[in-house]
Amino acid sequence: MHGPNTLPSTLTATVVRLLTPLVRILLRNGMSFKAFSDVARRVFVEVGTRDFGIPGKKQTVSRVSILTGLSRKEVQHILEEQRVPGGSEAGERYNRAARVVAGWVRDREFTDAAGDPLPLPPDGERASFAALVRRHSGDVPARAVLDELLRVGAVERQEDGRIGLRARAYVPSTSELDKLDILGADAGDLIATIDHNLQRGAADPRFQRKVMYDNVPRESAAAFRALSAGQAQALIEAMDQWLAECDRDLNPSVPGAGRVRVGLGIYYFEENLNQDPEDK
């Protein structure tokens, strides 16, 4: 049983832990508290309106006001504003480029006998970069995908004109905007999974695990960083191959009803716990 003040204090401490790294990013990128507050108000109203209605009744401004603690005037003003789109150009660019790289790694038409990605000619009906893009990124122009992958250093033009894959995963390494977009997508997915497990985890749990020790020497941390990266990449590639076979954009003949977005995220974390400034 929770004590009378346990939940509020625990929730406050949880919010502080969530906000600390986020505020660090916001300040580094020039977002003021007022700008953050404006965004928070809008999200409170949108979530209160969408997710906390009473079944069978239309959600009202008064109820959203009570839920959020904002005035009816503030709620009404926010509801009348043009809503910020949920997607973004950076997010779309990330998704299509990531799918092309994943297809290059696992699709047998684009790998050699050992399973390694083949260098591909730019054009051609089969076993070309253009064919790879058509199969794994729909009707997006191959040139646009190639420019993006060249921009982040994921591919290279070889002397014979073919396109070679340099990285087995697409990671935007040069654009701060792209990285910030991934922050919102990936952190949002993790928090949504935790929320699901808090609400319905007993009946319908979603996988959420981590392994952590807090007295590891730097040398072992470096070794674990390399070990975990290799094993995590192998698992992600295996999961990608399984999911690709079920995705109706890639395989229109897949049977079944509805449309669900599913995936698996893996992340590495490390924190220096030394108290001596000279040993940091």
Residue ending a domain, choose from 84, 99, 125: 84
The tally of CA atoms less than 13 A away on the side-chain side of residue 118 is 16
Q: Angle, to 10 degrees, between the axis of helix 72-80 and the axis of helix 33-51?
A: 90
pLDDT computed for residue 176 by the predictor: 67
**13 is written with which tokens?**
């401490």
Whether 244 is covered by a domain: the verdict is: yes
Nearest Cα residue to 90 out of 6, 180, 11, 215: 180
Nearest Cα residue to 170 out of 125, 222, 236, 225: 236
3-state secondary structure of 192: helix
Whether 248 is covered by a domain: the verdict is: yes
Nearest Cα residue to 239 out of 228, 247, 251, 248: 247
Residue ending a domain, choose from 45, 67, 84: 84
Low-confidence ranges of the chain (pLDDT < 70): 1-5, 82-94, 171-178, 275-280
Phi, psi torsion values for 157, nearest 5 degrees: -85, 125
Phi, psi torsion values for 156, nearest 5 degrees: -145, 150
Nearest Cα residue to 88 out of 183, 205, 201: 183
pLDDT computed for residue 261 by the predictor: 93
| Beta-bridge partners for 156 | 164
Number of domains in the chain: 3
Whether 240 is covered by a domain: the verdict is: yes
Domain identity same for 93 and 161: yes
The residue range of the domain holding 21 is: 14-84
Q: How far is CA 270 from the centre of its chain?
A: 19
Whether 247 is covered by a domain: the verdict is: yes
Q: Which residues contact residue 123 at a Cβ distance below 8 angstroms, ignoring those fewer than 6 apart?
A: 129, 130, 142
Whether 154 is covered by a domain: the verdict is: yes
State the Cα angle at 119 between 249 and 134, rounded to 5°: 20
Domain identity same for 19 and 78: yes
Other beta carbons less than 10 A from residue 188's beta carbon:
10
Domain identity same for 40 and 106: no
pLDDT single digits (tens) 198-227: 999 999 999 999 999 999 999 999 999 999
For the chain, the straight-line distance linking the first and the last C-alpha, in angstroms and rounded, comes to 41
Distances (CA, A) of 21 to 26, 188, 269: 9, 14, 13
Domain identity same for 76 and 105: no
Domain identity same for 80 and 97: no
Domain identity same for 161 and 106: yes
Q: Which residues contact residue 170 at a Cβ distance below 8 angstroms, ignoring those fewer than 6 apart?
A: 94, 97, 98, 100, 101, 102, 149, 152, 154
Whether 113 is covered by a domain: the verdict is: yes
The tally of CA atoms less than 13 A away on the side-chain side of residue 58 is 2
The tally of CA atoms less than 13 A away on the side-chain side of residue 33 is 0
pLDDT computed for residue 160 by the predictor: 94
Residue ending a domain, choose from 23, 56, 84: 84
CATH number at 158 reads 1.10.10
pLDDT computed for residue 128 by the predictor: 94
Report the DSSP pairing between strands 163-165 and 155-157. antiparallel
pLDDT computed for residue 121 by the predictor: 95
Whether 201 is covered by a domain: the verdict is: no
pLDDT single digits (tens) 138-164: 778 899 899 889 887 889 999 999 999
pLDDT computed for residue 61 by the predictor: 93
Whether 182 is covered by a domain: the verdict is: no
pLDDT computed for residue 178 by the predictor: 67
pLDDT computed for residue 177 by the predictor: 66
Domain identity same for 80 and 110: no
DSSP 22-65: HHHHHHHTT--HHHHHHHHHHHHHHHHHHHSPPTTS---HHHHH
